[in-house]
């Protein structure tokens, strides 16, 4: 199957989002005039207007009648679409973004983990039984960890958890691939998976919640230890 080329509007949107995230167009500044910006991007002005309308909808820019288009502070004025876009631009995210994301996971994962264990223990056990086929590689661990957490959100019965974790899948894969390069982190997670299996077998949601909260905090500390000053996109 051939991959169809990006449409001019999609390519333009991606370029402008990248330019905002990497600081080419910092928050609080104005974009170049419509005529100049369209010429720089090699597109028509109607195409640019369509793209700017989409960016305004998602919280990237503010279109002001008779005034230059302003780049918004997307961390404060954006929405879930901004999170999705930032997650897809791993090479340009601020240094503290991953740590902030891990902090959110510390808050969320114990909740959806407990609900999943209490409501669908057999399904959780079924997922964890794949440990038998888990290879000792960063790629396999990253893939297994993503599948586990994504399935736990589904089994929790709260689709908002799933929408959130799906929105950061791209960054999750990049971060996971780097995180699991260390034998220490793989061993830590393997111990977690086995302990979660025990909690689930006993249908003990409270114990699962406490376990997940502890493990997520320890994982955050391991990330700080190994990757605090590392460009994750570089691998």
Is the pLDDT at 6 greater than 90? The verdict is no
Are 58 and 79 in contact by the 8 Å Cβ rule? The answer is yes
Can you tell me whether residue 62 is helix, strand or coil?
Answer: strand
**Of 78, 108, 137, at which residue does a domain stop?**
78
**Phi, psi for residue 71 in degrees, rounded to 5:** -80, 120
Number of domains in the chain: 2
Contact 172/141 with Cβ under 8 angstroms? no
Q: With beta carbons less than 8 A apart as the criterion, state whether 70 and 30 touch.
A: yes
Residue among 104, 128, 106 at smallest CA distance from 116: 128
Indicate if 108 and 203 belong to the same structural domain.
Answer: yes
- Whole-angstrom Cα distance, residue 13 to residue 224? 33
pLDDT band at 119 (very low <50, low <70, confident <90, very high): very high
- Do 47 and 126 fall within a single domain? no
In this prediction, what percent of the chain has a pLDDT beyond 70? 91
Same domain as 59, residue 165: no
Whether residue 2 is contained in a domain is answered as no
Average pLDDT, the chain: 89
Tell me if 83 is assigned to some domain: no
> Could you list the residue range(s) of the whole structural domain that residue 157 is in?
92-234
54 and 129: one domain?
no
Which range, 1-10, 97-106, 197-206, has the best average confidence (pLDDT)?
197-206
- Pair 160, 115: CB distance under 8 Å: no
- Packing angle of the helix pair 159-167, 80-88 (nearest 10 deg): 40
Confidence of residue 235 (pLDDT cuts 50, 70, 90): very low
- Whether 158 and 230 map to the same domain: the answer is yes
56 and 124 within one domain: no
pLDDT, one tens digit per residue, over 146-189 is: 999 999 999 999 999 999 999 888 777 778 888 999 999 999 99
pLDDT at 234 over 50: no
CATH number of the domain enclosing 135: 1.20.120.530
Residue 194 lies in a domain: yes
Q: Which of 187, 192, 112 is nearest to 154 (CA)?
A: 112
Structure tokens at 132: 């038998």
Instruction: Kindly report, residue by residue over 59-108, the tens digit of the pLDDT.
Output: 899 999 889 999 999 888 888 888 878 877 766 666 677 788 889 999 99
Note if the pTM is more than 0.85: no
């Amino acid at each position: 199957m051939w991959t169809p080329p990006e449409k001019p509007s999609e390519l333009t949107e991606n370029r402008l989002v990248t330019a905002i995230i990497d600081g080419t167009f910092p928050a609080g500044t104005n974009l170049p005039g419509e005529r100049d910006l369209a010429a720089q991007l090699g597109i028509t002005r109607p195409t640019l207007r369509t793209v700017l309308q989409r960016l305004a909808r998602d919280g990237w820019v503010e279109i002001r009648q008779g005034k230059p288009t302003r780049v918004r502070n997307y961390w404060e004025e954006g929405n879930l679409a901004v999170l999705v876009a930032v997650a897809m631009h791993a090479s340009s995210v601020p240094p503290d973004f991953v740590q902030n994301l891990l902090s959110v996971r510390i808050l969320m994962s114990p909740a959806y983990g407990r609900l999943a264990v209490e409501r669908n223990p057999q399904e959780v056990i079924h997922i964890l039984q794949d440990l038998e086929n888990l290879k000792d590689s960063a790629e396999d661990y990253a893939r297994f960890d993503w599948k586990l957490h994504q399935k736990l959100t589904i089994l929790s019965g709260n689709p908002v958890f799933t929408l959130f974790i799906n929105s950061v899948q791209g960054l999750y894969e990049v971060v996971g691939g780097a995180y699991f390069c260390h034998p220490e982190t793989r061993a830590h997670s393997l111990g977690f998976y086995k302990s979660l299996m025990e909690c689930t077998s006993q249908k003990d949601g409270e114990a699962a919640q406490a376990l997940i909260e502890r493990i997520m905090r320890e994982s955050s500390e391991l990330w700080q230890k190994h990757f605090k000053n590392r460009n994750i996109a570089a691998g």
